[in-house]
Structure 1
Amino acid sequence: MDLLSRLGPSSRADLARLTGLAPHSITRLVEPLIARGLLHEAAPIAAGRGKPAAKLALEGGAAFAVGLSVMTDAVSLVLLDLAGTVEAARTERLVDTGIDRACHQIRRMIDHAVADAGRDPATLVGIGIGVTGYFIGDGARLNPPRLLDPWALVPLDTILADALGQKVWIDNDGNVAAIGEAMLGHGRSVRDFAYLYFSAGFGGGIIAQGLPLRGSHGNAGEFASILPVDWPQPNLEALRLTFAAMGTAYPDLHSMLAAFDVDHPAVGVWLDRSIPSLDLVVSAISAVADPAMIVLGGRLPPALAARIIDRVRFTNPERRGHHRPAPRIISSVIDGDAAAIGAATLPLRAAFFDPDGISPD
């Protein structure tokens, strides 16, 4: 099922070749999954000489998950089916950062999205939630920015599971966005990459051999910590403040991104300040992790990602006519809220694709 998730529809012969299993072993494995409605096998399509092969594919209608991204100014939601299709998506301003009122808003959003998508609530696997902040090393207690003070240092796992009435998976927004990219984006072709998450803060995640590298405390990918304290943080809140200083004020990131103009002079000023910091971050990632790719994502507009890619540089001196191989820097291909999509993959991953994956909190 993991192979079908990453590669798309594949024949039994394809799966036998990729796994090294005998064809009869593949049949023994897939037939019960077909019987349970988790896979379907399309009619064979002739393509050239030889007997046409039927393709196996995940059955999207068999199960779905809810993904949520809780930000300082907004909450985003997606419904993601078993085949990796986003069936519903919506973003709202966060009415109140208090957890009780926020959960009331989230439950209403979930109910409306499930009804609008025509999904059977009985096929809901669980809810994945990405929250901005870092873990303090004590369960699911996060230390978010000041604007999310009610969410700080409390057991979010039990609080949110009780409030929402479902199994809940908790992770920080950078990690879940990287996981989403691994399952639905560049991770389908590259098994090792780093993901830079741009939002009110700056962070990310690391994918190694297709799996998230979380670290001892769940904070691998906290790339902001690479920077000295007096260096500019290359986050979008700093960009919003730059817009305000140059005469174009936005009340929050949601408003700025809705009206974003990549050619505004404020963008050039922010880039001048941010590029040295990003140069240091990507150089450190390249030297320490040696990934094939560094993906720019989060709430970063694609046009701004393109300008960053054009300017950012690695520290990579030449030796004997050679530079150390460096990762490609590329924009995310996830269409929509990367953290919400990635969060939705957590329950599906644990239930269907990764038997050693993250357990529900």
Structure 2
Amino acid sequence: MNAITAGDYPAHFLREDGRRTATANERVLMDLLSRQGPSSRADLARLTGLAPHSITRLVEPLIVRGLLREALPVAAGRGKPAAKLALEGSAAFAVGLSVMTDAVSLVLLDLAGQVHGARSERLADIEIQPACRQIRGMIDAAIADAGRDGTRLVGIGIGVTGYFIGDGARLNPPRLLDPWALVPLDTILSEALGEKVWIDNDGNVAAIGEAMLGLGRVSRDFAYLYFSAGFGGGIIAQGRPLRGRHGNAGEFASILPADWPQPNLEALRLTFGEHGTSFPDLHAMLTDFDAGHPAVDTWLDRCMPSLNLIASAIFATIDPGAIVLGGRLPTSLASRIVQRISFTNPARRGFHRPSARIIPSMIDGDATAIGAATLPLRAAFFDSNAGHVFMED
């Protein structure tokens, strides 16, 4: 592992826009607190290998700047009770957006990882400027309803369905989002929304959301299957997103031969129509979803060979600890898939390769919007760029 020193740092480390953020060493501590939860100075010293006085040198400015809070000591057995340090949620927040073919979801995520102001609306107009006006209204209403201080907004993260074409923030989304295709979304959306924005594929940011607030709290390596109008996903390796050369790692749909069924929710919506139950869009289908409907059985029968192939390919190439079923997939349907999915894993000398667990997402809410909201917060407070650890001066 690389090492950095617990050396001097400025009392206020400012971004160009004047908002507070954290130095590289401070980010490591804040990331630990994000993953471990409230911890004592002794806990942080043990986890980082730093002496207690070095921890204090790092912690005190963070407390003064309002990024950390220190609770009253709690007695735990013999000896002097230890005070717990925790991230101060009110210090900063970010907006996370999930832009889908039929709807847009939004959350506010504070510095401590708490979700506020979640809301979802049908996308009234897919043209970018009208959509941005709708989104801006959603943001303003969410901030007001949550009672947040707008000056503490770090930025806006946006997950958009589609894959990158290798040119900045230009995505190639499905036909239903044609106005969003092949244009510099980072520049367009930043100007339209009046804030700095971070753009990524919806599967990638959903995986990041799972890493920050779901399975990632207990597992550092997993693959994430993203079910929506399309099908994709993301990969988390050693707690960090594995995005690939062009940002398209996790495009699991491409594993399937062209004539194999795609296991997406749009195909499920059409299958409901075959069984005499029509929905105008996914939003309507998912509002009162019935996992026991005969259409679900038909969809599963068609899609399980595809899901088995994808899971087996992930299992063989990535060897993750788990494969998470998420996106817009209802938990009741995820549970049915868990029961039926299987790996290609022949025995040798009576042994099979250790396989990944298949589990539903542990995120309560829109994982894409939550993951998107983590992007600005990671950039400002948590991402130390190389997963550095400390060493003494």
Partner of 1:280: 309
Cα deviation for residue 34 of structure 1 reads 0.5
Q: What secondary structure is seen at the aligned counterpart in 2 of 1:50?
A: coil
In the alignment, does 2:152 pair up with 1:119? no
Contact preservation (8 Å) 1:350, 1:356? no
TM-score (norm 1): 0.98
**Aligned partner of 2:64 among 23, 35, 42:** 35
**Aligned partner of 1:51 among 77, 80, 97:** 80
Matches within 5 A, 1:162-201: 162-201=191-230
In the alignment, does 2:299 pair up with 1:267? no
Partner of 1:142: 171
Cα deviation code 1:1-33 (max 9, x no counterpart): 001111111111111111111111111111110
Cα deviation code 1:157-199 (max 9, x no counterpart): 0000000010000001000000000011100110011000000
**Aligned partner of 1:16 among 32, 42, 45:** 45
Matches within 5 A, 1:189-338: 189-338=218-367
In the alignment, does 2:166 pair up with 1:106? no
Amino acid at match of 1:160: L
In 2, the alpha carbon distance for the partners of 1:319 and 1:19 equals 42
Q: Which runs of 5+ in 2 are unaligned?
A: 1-29, 387-393
Amino acid at match of 1:314: F
Identity %: 80
Amino acid at match of 1:305: A
Q: What secondary structure is seen at the aligned counterpart in 1 of 2:199?
A: strand
In 2, the alpha carbon distance for the partners of 1:336 and 1:219 equals 24
Amino acid at match of 2:92: A
Cα deviation code 1:94-142 (max 9, x no counterpart): 0000000000000000000011111111100000000000000000000
Cα deviation for residue 355 of structure 1 reads 2.9
In 1, the alpha carbon distance for the partners of 2:127 and 2:322 equals 38
Q: What secondary structure is seen at the aligned counterpart in 1 of 2:299?
A: helix
TM-score (norm 2): 0.90
Partner of 1:79: 108
In 1, the alpha carbon distance for the partners of 2:292 and 2:116 equals 33
In 2, the alpha carbon distance for the partners of 1:293 and 1:23 equals 36
In the alignment, does 2:48 pair up with 1:25? no
Cα deviation code 1:35-90 (max 9, x no counterpart): 10000000011122221111000000000000000000000000000000001100
Q: What secondary structure is seen at the aligned counterpart in 1 of 2:53?
A: helix
**Aligned partner of 1:88 among 111, 117, 138:** 117
The higher relative CO (CA closer than 8 Å, separation ≥ 6) is in: 2
How many residues get paired?
357
Partner of 1:97: 126
